[in-house]
Chain A
Amino acid sequence: MSKKINIDQQVNETLESLEGIQKASPGHFFFTRVQARLHKAHKDVWDQVLSFISRPAVVMATVILILLIDVIALTNTEQSENMQATEKSHALDEEYDFSIATIYDYSKPDNK
């Protein structure tokens, strides 16, 4: 019985041991360390971006993408150049009537 009372007393004393507890403080120059950490966090973001960009897979994919864009652009340019040239020749054709090939054709009465 007395043992139980003794244990209860110890438990209560232990629970009350936090009475009068004071706040713990971090080490000196805490703000300086936070500042350093902030700079590091900022740098880490750039490091992550750079390391991602410099990955061989990313580099290869980028090169392939650029080449693909080049090929598509070149094909489109060639097509549009051909079309422009055809349009020009048609325009000239219409303007100067190239369907009559020689002067002889003019002089032939059938053509008039």
Chain B
Amino acid sequence: MKNGDESAFKELVVTWQDMVYNTVLSILQNEEDAEDVSQEVFVQVFQSISSFKAESKLSTWIYRIATTKALDHLRKKKRKKRFAFVQSLFGFNENENEQPATFIHPGIILDNKEKAAVLFKALEKLPEKQKVAFTLNKIEGLSYQDVSEIMETSLSAVESLIHRAKGNLKKQLTDYYLLNN
């Protein structure tokens, strides 16, 4: 792979594409964006594989690229939204009322679809680090140890992030159900 072997790269993509796509999709909550960013992740993997040192697992390294790219994309989107808002104040933007559709993760079992959609909506509002930690642990099913290696932080920091994420989600969900019951 480090020698630019295409078949090795293909094997890598096929092996990790679901993992990358699933992580990116859970963070971005948009299938088109997730596909686009997942492609970018593998382009980055191909271009910087020579800098990969076997100090960490390959999966950890790929997860790190995927979460970084996904967060970058989110930030870019937020900047665009802010710019569009400013434009709309001056009457330059015609798509000001464009609302994102409710996201339903394709891997959710049918019975849980409605509740999961509410949860993803709440997840969207979490701070970045809490969002990534929660996504990797609860959606990707990774251990705290793996999450700490991906996020390059301590185990206790991950525990704290997930604890705070759950607390924030509970608060948001309580508010939501209070309003909608």
Residues of A within 8 A of B (CB): 3, 6-8, 10-11, 13-15, 17-27, 30-31, 33-34, 37-38, 41
Contacts and interface: CB of A to CB of B under 8 A. Distances in A.
Contacts of B14: 31
A37 B40 contact: yes
B129 interface: no
Contacts, number: 94
Interface in B70-124: 105-109, 112, 115-116, 118-119
B17 A13 contact: no
Contact of A17 (B18, B19, B25, B115): B115
Interface residues of B, number: 38
A14 B108 contact: no
B126 to A, nearest CB: 13
Contacts of B38: 26, 30
Contact of B42 (A6, A17, A18, A34): A34
Contacts of A33: 35, 39
Interface of B: 10, 13-14, 17-19, 21-22, 25, 34-35, 38-40, 42-43, 46-47, 105-109, 112, 115-116, 118-119, 138-139, 166, 169-170, 173-174, 177-178, 181
